[in-house]
């Protein structure tokens, strides 16, 4: 072991030590004249004979209560906190339900009737064309008067804007 110690000290002796101007060694602290040591034991009990036996006295001595009164005030405070918490949770749930309802109304506005049915894929109905109009006429959704009026409107639009190829 001695050979290791000498080799380590030999290595350490080769490293130069510099004193930094930014680092100062710790110095002794001067205590104030009003310094008092902390007591080694426990402080006197708060249930002293000053306000009567069985009372809890505040450190200032201004308030004294029985332990039952302290327990009652704690239970009252706990019940108040629990009621406040339940009201806050109810308000939170109402707020979240409102958000979900607004999102659902927005979705229904974009795709009316889609969310109310079990259909998961939207398929556009063929508008115009002989097959679509004939199917609607056969189902009784379009009567002859509407059909002739829409055909007449279509012809007028074709005259004004030119015929569109479908």
pTM of the model: 0.35
pLDDT at 25: 79
Number of structural domains found in the chain: 1
Length in residues, the chain: 166
- Identify how many contiguous H helices and E strands the chain contains and give both numbers: 4, 2
- The reply to whether 155 falls in a domain is no
Q: How far apart are CA 107 and CA 114, in angstroms?
A: 9
- CA atoms of 9 and 120, how far apart (whole Å): 82
Give residues with Cβ within 8 angstroms of 138, minimum separation 6: none
Residue 130 lies in a domain: no
pLDDT digit string (tens) for the chain, length 166 residues: 455 555 667 877 787 777 778 888 788 989 899 988 877 776 666 555 554 567 777 777 777 888 898 899 999 999 999 999 999 999 999 999 999 999 888 887 877 666 666 666 666 777 655 555 555 555 555 556 556 667 788 788 777 777 766 5
Q: Is residue 12 part of a domain?
A: no
pLDDT of amino acid 143: 57
Note the pLDDT of residue 137. 55
Residue 85 falls within a domain, yes or no? no
Q: How far apart are CA 135 and CA 127, in angstroms?
A: 11
Q: Which two tokens stand for residue 104?
A: 């659902």
Q: 């556009």: which residue's tokens?
A: 124
**Residue 64 — φ and ψ, nearest 5°?**
-140, 135
Q: Is residue 57 within a helix (H) or strand (E), and if so which, with residue range?
A: strand 56-57
The DSSP output letter for 65 is: E
- Long-range contacts of the stretch 127-132 (C-beta < 8 A, 24+): 128/166, 129/166
List C-alpha distances in Å: 145 to 81, 149, 150, 158. Answer: 71, 6, 9, 20
Give the tokens for residue 159.
């005259």
Which domain covers residue 100, as residue numbers?
Answer: 90-114
Residue 38 lies in a domain: no
Helices (H), 26-143: 67-110, 130-139
Q: Give me the pLDDT at residue 58, please.
A: 78
The pLDDT value recorded for residue 76 is: 96
């Amino acid at each position: 072991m001695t050979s290791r110690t000498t080799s380590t000290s030999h290595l350490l002796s080769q490293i130069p030590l510099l004193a930094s101007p930014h680092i100062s060694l710790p110095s002794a602290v001067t205590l104030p004249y009003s310094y008092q040591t902390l007591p080694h034991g426990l402080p006197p009990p708060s249930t002293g004979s000053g306000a009567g036996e069985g009372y809890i006295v505040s450190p200032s001595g201004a308030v004294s209560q029985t332990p039952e009164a302290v327990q009652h005030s704690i239970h009252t405070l706990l019940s108040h906190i629990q009621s406040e918490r339940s009201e806050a949770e109810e308000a939170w749930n109402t707020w979240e339900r409102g958000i979900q309802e607004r999102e659902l109304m927005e979705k229904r506005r974009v795709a009316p009737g889609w969310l109310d049915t079990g259909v998961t894929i939207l398929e556009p109905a063929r508008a115009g064309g002989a097959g679509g109009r004939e199917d609607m006429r056969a189902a009784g959704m379009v009567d002859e008067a509407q059909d002739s009026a829409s055909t007449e409107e279509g012809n007028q639009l074709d005259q004004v804007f030119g015929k569109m190829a479908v």
